[in-house]
Chain A
């Protein structure tokens, strides 16, 4: 037996997962409530003792950790045109596991500057212009950042012709220059910026978030938790050299404050004559809906889906649902306690899934012109994806997971929304996805075996 420990430092929980990489199998999981940053080591010790009560004493050979503690990796980004470089900056940051608090476009205003100063992000991603293209805006924005003060690092990933000038303007601040997120018009190049974000996270953020003490104990690979989830989903889809993966998939994580959607798929049109609009889509894409969550952002679900519709799904009157929503919004750690609150919770989760997957998935439009019918696709085509992974408290602690998840499927009444049509629903009942992402760095085969074993399929 070769036990390995995987730790997820969350904002409210420290979660530990023990696996035996020889077998390979899951040995056990445990978590501990952590209230403040300074508690992080206590939280870990507490979670470990709970774990060892279940598994018996374990001599861990290796320990790896990811973190979303202290608000996660808090980022701001700015680009030029909202649909182009600003969108590319946001996509890059989300894909690196960051929590993107805001994305700015065009020139930063005085109000923006004040807001940036107040937010004081962990990293600012400054982009804009294609290589050889517009440099005026990125240079202007660098000057604004210079005046803002604070010591947050800036990653420069815009027009390469302006990079050095921006670096000089920002002298005195930690600046990292990398390749442009959009080197040529319509070409997305986000990996270099993402590598830089992870690098800065490791070298700097881990220290700042009070995780140094922990990192001495841990062999390494600290990464933001969403990054670990992405790694796990990539592994599950693609497999390893010796094991087949499951193929294209969509994963949904409905949390208290946000709903994260991941897709691993090229997402190209079914009909090759379809023309593609907008930015090219990354093969592994993460989107975060900041207004869709089961507690802190519960009202956002109602705003997006409509009170009547959610009430109908729950089988409650709109008035009663409204009361329950208010109660959950005020008591963010409250769990459903009777039939009505459970029905409300499940209906809200269903619509959270519907709204978030609809926003994540691409759209297909039919345009009638002089040349006849033309198809235009924006975003990713997920219609043919047949694996739907589900994680997050509201979805893994109910028996109705498949029903809730099906709200994220293709709907005949909304044929333009390219959501998955026929899916197996795989449920992360033991909540191990992030841990397997961590494990996959050095033990991809063990991580994949355990994922396949632990993700329970809800039959069609």
Chain B
């Protein structure tokens, strides 16, 4: 089966590089074709990369608490750019302070993300969900 393509990166003015690098290796080892945009990635860069590479999913990381601001409007921009229905994940420390994650998750799902992951989620969880959502059979 053809490899599924993922676009990953850390959104906004966020420079936390380590987690993103771990995800890159974990997803690559799990058999995905991973386009790693690194840190400080704008919404437009995620979208442009997904268009050129015909990506199956965009996975946004945010570690510095500004994720909610940075992610707002990403789904709408994807629709605008012809990426209707592309799988959108978000994860990390995506909001400021300690808030119950189910409320946070609700807000991000309402913004158009297909899944939101709490701090400390091991990559295996994302991989399993990706396989489910992209209908990959092992």
A residues within 8 Å of B by Cβ?
80-81, 83-85, 128-130, 132-136, 182, 185-186, 275, 367, 369-371, 374, 376
Contact = CB atoms under 8 A, between A and B. Distances in A.
Interface stretch (B51-59, B101-109, B119-127): B51-59
Interface string B31-45: 001010011100000
B64 A80 contact: no
B13 A83 contact: no
Contacts of B49: 84, 185-186
Nearest to B47: A81
B52 A130 contact: yes
Contacts of A85: 52
Given A84-B48, A129-B52, A275 B38 contact: yes
Contacts of A81: 48, 51-52
Nearest to A367: B13
Interface string B80-102: 00000000000000000000000
Contacts of A128: 52
Contacts of B64: 369-371
A83 B53 contact: no
10 contacts: A81-B52, A128-B52, A132-B54, A133-B5, A133-B53, A134-B51, A134-B54, A275-B39, A374-B15, A376-B40
Contacts of B53: 129-130, 132-134, 185
Contact of B51 (A80, A275, A369, A376): A80
Contacts, number: 57
A185 B5 CA distance: 11
Contacts of B68: none
A367 B39 CA distance: 13
A133 B52 contact: yes
Interface in B58-72: 64-66
B14 interface: yes
The main secondary structure of chain B at its interface with chain A is loop
Given A132-B33, A374-B40, A369 B52 contact: no
B43 to A, nearest CB: 13
Contacts of B14: 369-370
Interface residues of B, number: 19
B52 A182 contact: yes
Given A130-B52, A370-B66, 16 more contacts: A81-B51, A81-B52, A83-B48, A84-B48, A129-B54, A133-B5, A133-B54, A134-B53, A135-B54, A185-B49, A275-B39, A275-B40, A370-B14, A371-B15, A374-B15, A376-B40
A186 B36 CA distance: 10
B38 A134 contact: no
B67 to A, nearest CB: 12
Contacts of A136: 54
B83 to A, nearest CB: 10
Contact of A369 (B5, B15, B38, B55): B15
A253 to B, nearest CB: 32
A454 B39 CA distance: 48
B47 to A, nearest CB: 9
Contacts of B35: 185
Q: Pick the most buried of A182, A370, A374: most chain B CB atoms within 10 A of its CB.
A: A370
Contact of B52 (A185, A367, A370): A185
Q: Pick the most buried of B13, B14, B51, B66: most chain A CB atoms within 10 A of its CB.
A: B51
A130 B51 CA distance: 9
A445 B35 CA distance: 45
Contacts of A182: 52
Contacts of A275: 38-40
A185 B36 CA distance: 9
Given A185-B35, A374-B13, A374-B15, A80 B40 contact: no
B127 to A, nearest CB: 21
Nearest to B65: A370
Q: Pick the most buried of B13, B33, B54: most chain A CB atoms within 10 A of its CB.
A: B54
B33 A134 contact: no
Contacts of A367: 13, 40
B15 to A, nearest CB: 5
A81 to B, nearest CB: 5
A80 B15 CA distance: 29
A101 to B, nearest CB: 24
A136 B82 CA distance: 12
A167 B39 CA distance: 39
A136 B49 CA distance: 15
Nearest to A79: B52
A107 to B, nearest CB: 9
B3 to A, nearest CB: 8
A447 B53 CA distance: 44
B33 to A, nearest CB: 7
Nearest to B35: A185
Contacts of B55: 133
A85 B54 CA distance: 13
A219 to B, nearest CB: 43
Contacts of B13: 367, 369-370, 374
Contacts of B48: 81, 83-84
Contacts of A83: 48
Contacts of A370: 13-14, 64-66
B52 A84 contact: yes
Q: Pick the most buried of B14, B15, B48, B53: most chain A CB atoms within 10 A of its CB.
A: B53
